[in-house]
Amino acid sequence: MIRASTFLRLNLRTRGSIFAPMTEQVQALIGKEFPCLDKGFVRLVDVMGDDAAIVQAARVSYGEGTKKVLEDRGLIRYLLRHAHTTPFEMVEFKFHVKLPIFVARQWIRHRTANVNEYSGRYSEMKDEFYVPASDQVRAQSSTNKQGRAEDSFAPSEAERIRTMMSTTQDSLYSEYQELLGTNLAREIARINLPVSNYTEWYWKIDLHNLFHFLRLRIDAHAQYEIRVYGEAMAEIVKAVVPAAWEAFEDYLLHARRFSRKELIALRSMLATVTPEDSALEAAGLKGREAQEFLAKLEELSQL
């Protein structure tokens, strides 16, 4: 049995390490509203941990001596570069998000978070609907079956479509109110409301899985409406864990995977190329990371 005084000392030591006091920059983010789309937002409700929490979790496995060899930034980069993901799970973010239902249905495909959503069974749905801005009213892409074209409709046609959407939303919400007036159960009255209706939820996720979410959702190929939310969250994450975010950009967000056949093609192209130290340094590759890169090039000859 642990004495209360012992537990208090353990707790204080923990809060001095994993749960270090928030910086003023991070404190300023708590509760700040990042507007998204026409009526939505992202707010950071709470955050547990930072770059130091990732390093501390890793050093439990790596041993105390690691601290004398690797700086925190270098260790974080090594962890992400080699897909040692567990230490990143030590950092958690809790967001309050207001978003259209159709965006929420895309979002919920990421099944690695804790979610609690506004309920149309218990509460009345709000008269808030998403209408895309004129520049987002576009034709179906001819090359992407699940996306829109790059060019917008003519302003007059875009406005006609926006008006049509808004009129339908108003009509359906009026019918919803009329059904509620008959004392029809809320869970039934809501079923004809469109997926443009706004909902809200609390969404809590660890950094490892949040990186996976952001890698997909701030990509240029992601649907615009969810990308807006991803970009707002990215701004928050970058401020809370700057070293981890830098590694995420280098090794995940802006990295590219190659198939075996693509690597064979690269081998042929690079057969006469000898990497120079100056070129490696200019690209920011040095030390262990440069050695790993050269080892990858050497592996191409074995394909």
- Residue among 104, 92, 120 at smallest CA distance from 37: 104
What are the phi and psi torsion angles at 19 (to 5°)? -100, 60
Q: Where are the beta strands (DSSP E) in the chain?
A: 33-36, 40-48, 92-100, 114-117, 138-140, 148-152, 198-206
- Residue among 15, 303, 191, 276 at smallest CA distance from 293: 276
Q: What is the DSSP letter of 299?
A: H
Q: Which two tokens stand for residue 114?
A: 């804790």
User: Which residues is 96 bridged to in the sheet?
Assistant: 43, 202
Quick one: which H or E segment has residue 159? helix 155-181
Q: 43, 77, 190, 217: which one is catalytic? A: 217
Q: Would you call 217 a catalytic residue per the annotation? A: yes
- Residue among 77, 42, 92, 50 at smallest CA distance from 234: 42
Contacts of 39 (CB under 8 A, 6+ apart): 98, 128, 130, 198
- Residue 116: exposure state from Cβ atoms within 10 A (0-12, 13-18, ≥19): exposed
What are the phi and psi torsion angles at 279 (to 5°)? -70, -40
Q: What is the DSSP letter of 269?
A: H
Active site positions, annotated: 217
